[in-house]
Amino acid sequence: MTTADYTALAFFALLWSAYSWFTAGGGARFLPRASLNRAMTERRRAWIYNSLKRDLKMIDTQILAGLQNGTAFFASTSIFALGGCFALLGATDQVEAVFRELAFVPYGGRTAFELKVGGLAIMFGYAFFKFGWSYRLFNYCTILFGALPMTHETHADRIAAERAADQVIRMNIIAAGHFNSGLRTIFLSIGYLGWFAGPYVFMATTAFVIFVLTRRQFFSDARLALLDRDEKA
């Protein structure tokens, strides 16, 4: 591990933290543009309130089931990736032989390689816990959704109905936040792989991944599709 390695790792952590902060809305004063995630938060709220207008909620339950299934898929993927990291640690000797033959890739030795793989395993473990908790919260959200009042009960006591809907909305938003954190970790693990080719490649791949994610969150067609005409683009 060289000074460049530690610098690249700090650069990675800094960009990860800054990107997470901006997409969560913490940097609204510096970048007055709603991110794609924040725009979707408003659509989640509109969806749940709209469900109060109908007694038959099969469409809503299908949406919730889809959210759970997607979360379960990524949780399973994280476990497989974590297992791959342990398999890679078991094949260190073969990997060393490959790296020694690559003249353009600086090889820092066995210990440095194992530390890098260990860091990758930690990332996948973190992603699994995020997806697992998100799945649990979406399950809670389904239960809360099932407790929403019927249409005639909503008309009788609109305040109580909206209070129940707010609970569903908050749980759904929290679950989505953990899902987004896990997905962000998966994306950034692609940038982390650049570290195996050297610290400077690590910084370049990290910057590239953050650039792509930032464009999708703040400057993509998907974001524009969610904005109303009177909202600031």
Over residues 25-29, mean pLDDT: 62
| pLDDT for the residue numbered 230 | 44
Bigger pLDDT: 186 or 23? 186
Cα separation, 31 vs 224, in Å, equals 16
| pLDDT for the residue numbered 233 | 52
List the alpha helices (DSSP H) in the chain. Answer: 3-23, 36-51, 58-90, 92-100, 110-146, 151-156, 158-192, 199-218, 221-226
pLDDT tens profile 60-104 = 889 899 999 999 999 999 999 999 888 888 877 777 777 666 666
* Residue 48, domain member (yes or no): yes
pLDDT of 54 strictly over 80: yes
* Residue 87, domain member (yes or no): yes
| pLDDT for the residue numbered 39 | 84
pLDDT of 28 strictly over 60: no
DSSP state of 27: T
Mean pLDDT of the chain: 86
| pLDDT for the residue numbered 26 | 66
Over residues 134-150, mean pLDDT: 92
Give residue 221's identity as a one-letter amino acid code.
D
Bigger pLDDT: 129 or 54? 129
* Residue 28, domain member (yes or no): no
Burial classification of residue 114, based on how many CB atoms lie within 10 Å of its CB (0-12 exposed, 13-18 middle, 19 or more buried): middle
Residue numbers of the domain that contains 77? 3-22+34-226
pTM of the model: 0.86
- pLDDT band at 57, cuts 50/70/90? confident
pLDDT tens profile 145-154 = 988 888 888 8
Domain count, the chain: 1
pLDDT of 229 strictly over 60: no
| pLDDT for the residue numbered 23 | 82
* Residue 232, domain member (yes or no): no
* Residue 29, domain member (yes or no): no
pLDDT tens profile 167-226 = 999 999 999 999 999 999 999 999 998 888 888 989 999 999 999 999 988 888 888 888
Cα separation, 72 vs 134, in Å, equals 9
| 161 close to 153: Cβ distance less than 8 angstroms | yes
